[in-house]
A and B are shown apart, each in its own frame.
Chain A
């Protein structure tokens, strides 16, 4: 392995890490702005132009706060919980193709930390580990409300992972690959998967809301019932990590939605741009297209938060187990029938 390869990958990883942090930071600002605008207010507007320095001020405040920890026997777990939540939130972005490839310094630079052939499984696996951060934090807090919040979060995530996985199965039957890079390449032009698998998209979208603990699935931290849920006992930057991890998760979920169903970095006329204006320029536009798509999803996440009230717990379980899972299984069967229609017709002698 040559050293330039390592440098190239390190740069890509650092840039992706930085962008994820930046997006998570500014998601907090965007959330407050969107919330305010949807409620006929103007939101934060004092720190910098339009309140743009608000996330910096918030971060600084969280760093400066006293790091309180409750009288719990699990000090180690209490400290490790936010770390797990943050680490898993950041790890998911490793397999996402941010663009095709730049041609710089006489070599092709892939805009992806790693193109493993089980990309989707990797994402689902890491997201499943994310629940440990919440569970451990809630458990180690030595507080009833934290524990209830953590139990709710974990049971909700476990339930919705099933539907999420099944909804992707229908998509994978069509694409025939688990690599996110190849799935993106297959959707070149306007050949987006959402037009072929709308039900799969809908189920995945609903599950993404549940996996990121966002309204209407924010039972884990519903203020009216559980104070702060699993992060009730946390303060200072440890709580900041939990909140940050939630926004990083939202960013990654939006990206996965854009990559799987909305063509990733593809945009109409990309091949024309490659021929006429060069690969690098086409890629810059592609990254822009991906960011427009994922910012649209982030906005949608926030828009829904201020529209739909929270589910009751039994409604949540009803929706997950008795509607979404059967629906995704039916979707898989229909997809299978459509894919194998030639063989079926031949078997029936038509």
Chain B
């Protein structure tokens, strides 16, 4: 079998430049065939999703906005190792590390923590590599369906710890749920 005859889809047609017959040159049959194809589409199910009323279903592997996790005692997991920033292909993550004070043990799990942790949402491509790189299970891409809100200022898209860190109530609730189970 030569390469010209292989047809993986089974729909391959060899194009020829032969002279058309008289009937073919009238085009009428071809036009009626075309009309038949278009009218079939007329009765087909429509692909439209009526947006405000209907919402497209999210994929099960959907990656939403980031969240910096807290552990069961409400302490931040992040230790500012910088692996997420290193792995980020879009270079969206920056952080400044700081040493934990003695009276901050209830706030941060490790001795080192991120005093500033910023993700530029204009750069982020939601690939999830930061989540994979994190050795402390600190950063996660959530399934939250909230998208980054539109704004006129570029500064508004740089999300700091105020927007990224998991709210304390949520951590408390998670712990309660875990204990209940």
Q: Which residues of A contact B (CB under 8 A)?
A: 34, 37-42, 45, 303-304, 306-308
B45 (CB) vs chain A CBs: closest residue: A40
Count of CB-CB pairs between chains A and B under 8 Å: 34
Shortest beta-carbon distance from A251 to chain B in Å: 21
**Could you say which residues of chain B place their CB within 8 Å of the CB of A307?**
31, 34-35, 37-38
A-B contact pairs, 28 of them (CB 8 A): A34-B42, A37-B41, A37-B42, A37-B46, A38-B38, A38-B39, A38-B41, A38-B42, A39-B41, A40-B41, A40-B44, A40-B46, A40-B47, A40-B48, A41-B48, A42-B46, A42-B48, A42-B50, A45-B50, A303-B35, A303-B38, A304-B35, A306-B38, A307-B31, A307-B34, A307-B35, A307-B38, A308-B31
Known: A38-B41, A42-B46; 20 extra A-B contacts, CB below 8 A, are A34-B42, A37-B42, A38-B38, A39-B41, A40-B45, A40-B48, A41-B47, A41-B48, A42-B48, A42-B50, A303-B35, A303-B38, A303-B39, A304-B35, A307-B31, A307-B34, A307-B35, A307-B37, A308-B31, A308-B34
A36 CB to nearest chain B CB (Å): 8
Measured between beta carbons, the chain B residues less than 8 angstroms from A308 are: 31, 34
Chain B contributes a number of interface residues (CB within 8 A of A) equal to 14
Chain B 14-43 per-residue mask, 1 if CB under 8 angstroms from chain A, else 0: 000000000000000001001101110110
CB distance from A275 to the nearest CB of B (A): 39
Shortest beta-carbon distance from B106 to chain A in Å? 54
Residues of A within 8 A of B38 (CB): 38, 303, 306-307
Highest count of chain B CB atoms <10 Å: which of A39, A41, A307, A308: A307
Please give, as numbers and ranges, the residues of chain B lying within 8 Å of A38 by CB-CB distance: 38-39, 41-42
Give chain B's interface secondary structure class: helix
| Alpha-carbon distance between A45 and B52 when the two chains are bound, in angstroms | 13
List the A side residues contacting B37 at CB < 8 Å.
307
A40 to B46, CA, bound (A): 5
Q: From residue B113, how far is it (CB to closest CB) to chain A in Å? A: 51
Closest to A306 in B: B38
Q: How many angstroms between the C-alpha atoms of A306 and B37 in the bound complex?
A: 11
Nearest CB of B to A39, in Å: 7
Contacts of A34 in B (CB 8 A): 42
B39 CB → nearest A CB, Å: 7
Q: How far is the CA of A38 from the CA of B35 in the complex (A)?
A: 10
Chain A residue, CB-CB nearest to B26: A323
Q: How far is the CA of A184 from the CA of B170 in the complex (A)?
A: 80
Question: How long is the Cα–Cα vector from A38 to B46 in the complex, in angstroms?
Answer: 10
Closest 6 CB pairs of A and B: A307-B38, A307-B34, A42-B48, A37-B42, A38-B38, A40-B47
Minimum distance in angstroms from B14 CB to a CB of chain A: 23
* A303 to B34 Cα, complex, angstroms: 10
Considering the complex, give the chain A residue whose CB is closest to the CB of B48.
Answer: A42
- Inside 8 A of B41's CB, which chain A residues have their CB? 37-40
What residues of chain A lie closer than 8 Å to B48, measured between beta carbons?
40-42
In the docked arrangement, what's the CA distance between A39 and B45, Å? 11
Q: Would B35 and A41 count as touching, CB distance under 8 A?
A: no
Nearest A residue to B46, CB-CB: A42
Q: Which among B37, B38, B44, B45 has the greatest number of chain A C-beta atoms within 10 A? A: B38
Chain B 50-78 per-residue mask, 1 if CB under 8 angstroms from chain A, else 0: 10000000000000000000000000000
- Give the shortest distance, in Å, between B65 (CB) and chain A (any CB): 31
- Residues from chain A with a CB closer than 8 A to the CB of B46 are 37, 40-42
Which B residues are in CB contact (< 8 Å) with A40? Answer: 41, 44-48
* CA of A39 to CA of B42, assembled, Å: 7
* A278 to B147 Cα, complex, angstroms: 67
B77 to chain A, nearest CB (A): 47
Measured CA separation A45–B53 after assembly (Å): 13
- CB B52 to nearest CB in A, in angstroms, measures 10
User: How many angstroms between the C-alpha atoms of A39 and B44 in the bound complex?
Assistant: 9
How far does the Cβ of A32 sit from chain B's closest Cβ, in whole Å? 14
